[in-house]
């Protein structure tokens, strides 16, 4: 069966297995006959090739809840449960997920494997900072319990480890108490990158902070943007809500996303946001997951798919580095639909986790030949500025770039080898990056 990530590039013919219980996962993993590489897959919302291998083990049926404890605000569930389903269950208790990505359709397992971050990273850290424990199925067929205190090495290698240590089966999460799920949003337009970053620094006490950047604007307006700040409203609804917008039924011809339409989109977006440069109450679903309202929007990039490029630069180099990157992108005219800028807080102990104290920028590019040389140039700027790229978005980074930016890779490999001596868990990505 042909599989791909959210970017619809690359694709791979894989043997997709959907075990219906943890026991059947164990049977499959213990079965030495399965030749080739083996990797877990959640909701397939990573963009590149991290969940692609010869045999792919879907966590689709690990979708059960085990327990909710409203005294100490924890929930235990299977790794295949989605953020959406979690929200549906926890919101009525006055609880919320402490870290949410830009789509509610990722699985808990995928969230741990990529140690995902939300718009509140500068205050609350990343997803795994709120994971109390999980069970991990190793290639030996043994299941171990991992937490920040138990099997700590395995914990730190699995959080952000892109599925390479084993299959996460059951997870205990710490939840957050919230006064309501209504979000007070404040949007502030910024004339350029400098101004935007100043605004971000000035508003650090705001819980959620993220800027939408127009990466096509040039000169004075380079990096013009809108900063969205948000808090949970003290008074508001405590009801779960999930909008179900229209779906893009098939890949549209990719010329729909050419320079012109992208520019148009970015322009109108800027104007739209400018008008609403004041406080507004919005539902959490609209605030956290604006893109979920159009299902399968990834098909808009055409049959060949697209590439998402997310980088982070440390604080010291962020201002000049980002300017250089946005400059290069705006010059190329290959700018993306949506570029997102956000400030990260400090890094955690997980070996391959992406966030480091600094600024992260996310760009989308249609998959076309001319984009690859541009991305190579961006890689060089990122490296020169001591930054790195996010593995959950990556489909093309070279081994060199990876190893010279993820400096703990050797330590990671040591632990992986201990947990998976025959190196059965491997993905297209891990092979490309020289990890397997």
Ligand X SMILES: Cc1cc2nc3c(=O)[nH]c(=O)nc-3n(C[C@H](O)[C@H](O)[C@H](O)COP(=O)(O)OP(=O)(O)OC[C@H]3O[C@@H](n4cnc5c(N)ncnc54)[C@H](O)[C@@H]3O)c2cc1C
Q: Summarize as ranges the residues that interact with other proteins (CB under 8 A).
A: 1, 18, 20-21, 23, 61, 64-68, 75, 77, 88-89, 92
Which residues have C-beta within 8 Å of that of residue 265, sequence separation ≥ 6?
337
Q: Does 367 bind ligand X (CB under 6 A)?
A: no
Residue choice 3, 8, 50, 154 for contact with ligand X (CB under 6 A): 50
In whole angstroms, how close is the CB of 237 to ligand X at the nearest point?
23
Largest CA distance in the chain: 61
- Pattern of binders to ligand X over 86-115, x per CB under 6 A? ---------------xxx--xx-xxx-xx-
Residue 109 interacts with which of ligand X, other proteins, none, CB < 5 to 8 Å by class: ligand X
Residues 382-401 that bind ligand X (CB under 6 A): 392
Q: Does 117 bind ligand X (CB under 6 A)?
A: yes
Which residues have C-beta within 8 Å of that of residue 243, sequence separation ≥ 6?
285, 286, 292, 293
In whole angstroms, how close is the CB of 89 to other proteins at the nearest point?
6
HSE of 252, CA atoms in CB hemisphere, 13 A: 14
Q: Does 37 bind ligand X (CB under 6 A)?
A: no
**Helices assigned H by DSSP within 76-206:** 83-90, 108-113, 121-124, 152-158, 193-202
Q: Which is nearer to ligand X, 264 or 291 (CB)?
A: 291
For CA atoms 193, 195, 198, 204, the dihedral sign is: negative
In whole angstroms, how close is the CB of 211 to ligand X at the nearest point?
13
Residue 20 interacts with which of ligand X, other proteins, none, CB < 5 to 8 Å by class: other proteins
Residue 61 interacts with which of other proteins, ligand X, none, CB < 5 to 8 Å by class: other proteins
Task: Report long-range pairs for 152-157 (Cβ below 8 Å, ≥24 apart).
Answer: 153/415, 153/418, 154/415, 154/419, 156/349, 156/350, 156/351, 156/415, 157/350, 157/351, 157/352, 157/412, 157/415, 157/416, 157/419
In whole angstroms, how close is the CB of 16 to other proteins at the nearest point?
10
Residue 1 interacts with which of other proteins, ligand X, none, CB < 5 to 8 Å by class: other proteins
**CA–CA gap between residue 147 and residue 80 (Å, rounded):** 19
Q: Does 6 bind ligand X (CB under 6 A)?
A: yes
Q: Are 203 and 229 in contact (CB under 8 A)?
A: yes
Q: Which two tokens stand for residue 146?
A: 């991992």
Q: Count residues contacting ligand X (CB under 6 A)? A: 33
**CA–CA gap between residue 130 and residue 134 (Å, rounded):** 11
Residue 235 interacts with which of ligand X, other proteins, none, CB < 5 to 8 Å by class: none
Q: Which is nearer to other proteins, 175 or 188 (CB)?
A: 175
For strand 65-69 and strand 74-78, is the pairing parallel, antiparallel, or unpaired?
Answer: antiparallel
In whole angstroms, how close is the CB of 66 to other proteins at the nearest point?
5
DSSP assignment of 339-397, as one string?
EEEEEE----S-TT----SEEEEEEEEE--TTHHHHHHHHHHHHHHTT-EE-TTT-SS-
Residue 114 interacts with which of other proteins, ligand X, none, CB < 5 to 8 Å by class: ligand X
In whole angstroms, how close is the CB of 183 to other proteins at the nearest point?
23
Residues that bind ligand X (CB under 6 A): 5-6, 39-46, 50-51, 59, 79, 101-103, 106-107, 109-111, 113-114, 116-117, 162-163, 167-168, 291, 392, 427
């Amino acid at each position: 069966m042909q599989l791909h990530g959210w970017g619809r590039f690359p694709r791979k013919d894989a043997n997709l297995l959907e075990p219906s219980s943890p026991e059947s996962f164990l049977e499959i993993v213990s079965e030495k006959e399965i030749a080739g590489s083996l990797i877990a897959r959640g909701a397939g919302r990573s963009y590149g090739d991290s969940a692609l291998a010869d045999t792919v083990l879907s966590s689709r049926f690990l979708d059960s809840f085990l327990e909710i404890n409203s005294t100490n605000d924890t929930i235990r569930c299977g790794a295949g449960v989605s953020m959406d389903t979690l929200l549906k269950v926890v919101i009525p208790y006055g609880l919320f997920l402490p870290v949410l990505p830009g789509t509610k359709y990722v699985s808990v397992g995928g969230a741990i494997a990529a140690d995902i971050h939300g718009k509140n990273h500068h205050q609350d850290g990343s997803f795994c900072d709120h994971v109390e424990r999980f069970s991990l199925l190793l290639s030996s067929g043994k299941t171990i319990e991992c937490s920040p205190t138990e099997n700590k090495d395995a914990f730190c290698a699995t959080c952000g480890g892109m599925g390479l240590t084993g299959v996460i089966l059951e997870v205990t999460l710490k939840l957050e108490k919230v006064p309501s799920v209504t979000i007070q949003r404040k949007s502030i337009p910024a004339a350029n990158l400098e101004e935007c970053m100043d605004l971000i620094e000035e508003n650090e006490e705001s819980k959620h902070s993220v800027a939408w950047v127009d990466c096509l604007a040039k000169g004075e307006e380079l990096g013009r943007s809108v900063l969205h700040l948000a808090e949970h409203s003290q008074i508001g609804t405590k009801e779960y809500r999930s909008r179900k917008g229209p779906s893009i039924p098939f890949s549209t011809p990719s010329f729909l996303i050419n320079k012109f339409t992208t520019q148009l989109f970015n322009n109108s977006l800027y104007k739209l946001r400018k008008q609403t440069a004041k406080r507004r109450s919005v539902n959490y679903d609209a605030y956290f997951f604006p893109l979920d309202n159009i299902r399968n929007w990834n098909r808009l990039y055409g049959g060949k798919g697209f590439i998402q490029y997310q980088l982070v630069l440390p604080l010291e180099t962020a201002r000049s580095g980002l300017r250089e990157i946005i400059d290069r992108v705006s010059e190329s005219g290959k700018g993306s639909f949506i570029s997102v800028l956000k400030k990260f807080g400090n890094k955690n102990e997980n070996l391959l986790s992406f966030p480091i104290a600094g600024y992260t920028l996310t760009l989308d590019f249609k998959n076309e030949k001319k984009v690859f040389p541009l991305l190579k140039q961006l890689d060089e700027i990122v490296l020169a500025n001591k930054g790195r790229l996010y593995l959950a978005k990556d489909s093309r980074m070279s081994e060199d770039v990876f190893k010279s930016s993820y400096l703990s890779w050797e330590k990671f490999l040591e632990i992986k080898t201990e947990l998976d001596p025959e190196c059965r868990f491997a993905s297209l990505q891990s092979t490309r990056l020289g990890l397997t």
